[in-house]
Amino acid sequence: MNKLVILDMDGTLLAQRTVDVLCEAYNLKNELDKIDKESSKLPAFKIAEKVAKLFQDIAVRDIQSTFNKIPLNPYVEEFIEFIRQEGFITAIATDSYQFLAENLAKKLNVNLVYGLDVEIINGRFTGRITSEYKCQEIRGCRRYYVCKLWFLRQCRRLFNPWTITIGDGESDFCMSTESDFAIAFNPKSKSLEGVCDLKVSSFSELLDLDYSKFI
């Protein structure tokens, strides 16, 4: 049987949200705070468009350099290696930017990446999102450009795997509703916690689980 684990990036693999770190680095914190205040009134894809515009004309190499300084959560590398040894296909699904997630996937030796595509011209971020809207629009979702449920369903078509999902926020809600075993990692969302099979506070806890008993 094929086995797959899909991991969120910001707040799960990474100890901080990418957007927070970038806005701090480029003196955009006040602008981000204003956008965050609108987040409850707008669908998530509209918020993503507003956030992307904040980084207009910033060099991608500078964004990448800043991103690379974000620390991993403890035991992430050990967990990825452990789960690969257990025969799992590994994937990152994030509503952050694809080119950043690909860099992290290479570092961690993760197989698949699904993130937010953006326009880059002459090495600079244009602030324009190019991802196709694929939200499955299930009840309770916030309507993200990056639909992790869509990604989960695509992986099922390709690999027919038994699937674990691990995430911490609202963007992880949709995939957690259909995974075979959903894990909430330090959940910041009551809705996510409500659909997950297990709540953990560290990757060291995940290293101690016997995954064979869930399959």
Between the CA of residue 197 and those of 33, 66, 85, 150, 201, what are the distances in Å? Answer: 33, 35, 23, 20, 14
Domain contains 60: no
Do the domain assignments include residue 31? no
pLDDT beyond 80 at 122 = yes
Which residues pair with residue 92 across a beta bridge?
A: 7, 113
Query: How do residues 109-121 score in pLDDT, each as one tens digit?
Result: 999 999 999 999 9
E-strand ranges in the chain read: 3-7, 88-97, 112-116, 118-121, 124-129, 162-167, 181-185, 198-200
Say if 79 falls within a structural domain: yes
| Mean pLDDT for the stretch of residues 2-22 | 97
Residue 153: band (very low, low, confident or very high) from pLDDT cuts 50, 70, 90: very high
Give the pLDDT mean for 144-154. 97
The CATH number of the domain holding residue 139 is 3.40.50.1000
pLDDT value of position 39: 87
Residue 126 forms part of a structural domain: yes
Distance in angstroms (rounded) separating the CA atoms of residues 39 and 43: 7
Per DSSP, 29 falls in state: H
User: Which domain, by its residues, includes 190?
Assistant: 3-19+67-213
Domain count, the chain: 1
Taking 80 as the threshold, does the pLDDT of residue 214 lie above it?
no
